[in-house]
Amino acid sequence: MEYFVQQLINGLTLGSIYGLIAIGYTMVFGIIGMVNFAHGDVFMLSTFIALIILMILLPIISTSMAAVIFALVVVLILGMVLTGLWNWAIERIAYRPLRGSFRLAPLISAIGMSIFLSNFVQVVQGPTNKSLNALIDGGFCLATDVAAKSCLFHTKSSFGVTIAYKQLLIMVITALLLAAFWYLVQRTPLGRAQRACEQDSKMARLLGIDVDRTISVTFVMGAALAAVAGVMYLIQYGIVGFSDGFVPGVKAFTAAVLGGIGSLPGAVLGGLIIGLIESLWSAYFTIDYKDVAAFSILAVTLIFLPSGILGRPEVEKV
């Protein structure tokens, strides 16, 4: 039982990262109906931005927990700003000129931008993976051997259940950001403009909404969330590479579709489901097929629930 609970915790942590990336997919698709396939590589780029900033800060600060927390806050802020600027430039250069073109043109441009970002990071940072020493150690021990004295609960099992501080941090940040962005979309003028552009961009323009600015801000917001996911990924795993954008990006897109693309809670819910499936499959079956299991669940869901778990059926405008 303890092993199962531990895998649940690991799955929720991984799913939280997928959920943060998936929100970027669902926001862009919801407002302009385009899948930004470069979003996974924007996430990868954010991990390198976070790594570079940390490598600059860590030698000049103390090793105390307060200093590490300060460094992480700085990394989060700078990472969100710099990654947002990257995505703003991508939208202006690669997507906006093709917005009125045929539907495949932005898709091809997105794939090309994904390849460009991956190769750009490979050339600048090199083909080898980059590692970082653990910044946050320790955690809450919920169950372990009775010989231990530092746990909240004791069992006679040889397995332990531990919630690492970094895992707790990832899950809390995901929940807070989901609440903040849901409030922003539902209760602010920017959110109303985004929803108006989602429903009918031509009518929104006639009503005085700056559609181009709204779309650009949406791209920046999605990139900022990807940057947070990049920092959390770096904290959790401590290693990044130029090819780390493809697989997490595809899984995050799968999560967005599974939860209902266009729904912010659905994106996080889909991410959590994908993370749990991957973690539990790796624990009880061969790890080689964990990706197949996740995508199989997606296929089954789309067969019986095409709009996703929390998505709304698409209504054709006439």
Compute the distance between CA of residue 299 and CA of residue 318 in angstroms, rounded to an integer: 30
Does 141 map to a domain?
yes
Please report, rounded to a whole number, the percentage of residues in the chain having pLDDT higher than 90.
37
Predicted pLDDT at 6: 87
Entry pTM: 0.89
* CATH number, domain containing residue 241: 1.10.3470
157 pLDDT exceeds 70? no
- CA-to-CA separations, 145 to 25, 126, 131, 161, 283, in angstroms, rounded: 43, 44, 32, 10, 21
Length of the chain: 318
> How confident is the model over 66-102, as pLDDT tens digits?
888 888 899 999 999 999 999 999 999 988 888 878 8
In a domain, 278, yes or no: no
Residue numbers of the domain that contains 125: 2-245
**Tally of domains within the chain:** 1
Q: Is 286 inside any structural domain?
A: no
Measure the CA–CA gap between 39 and 212, rounded to whole angstroms.
19
pLDDT in tens, 127-155: 899 988 878 878 878 755 544 444 544 44
Whether residue 316 lies inside any domain: the answer is: no
Say if 312 falls within a structural domain. Answer: no
What residues are paired with 240 via a beta bridge?
A: 130
Task: Give the closest residue to 274 by CA, choosing from 20, 46, 5, 4.
Answer: 20
- Between CA 18 and CA 174 the distance in angstroms is 10
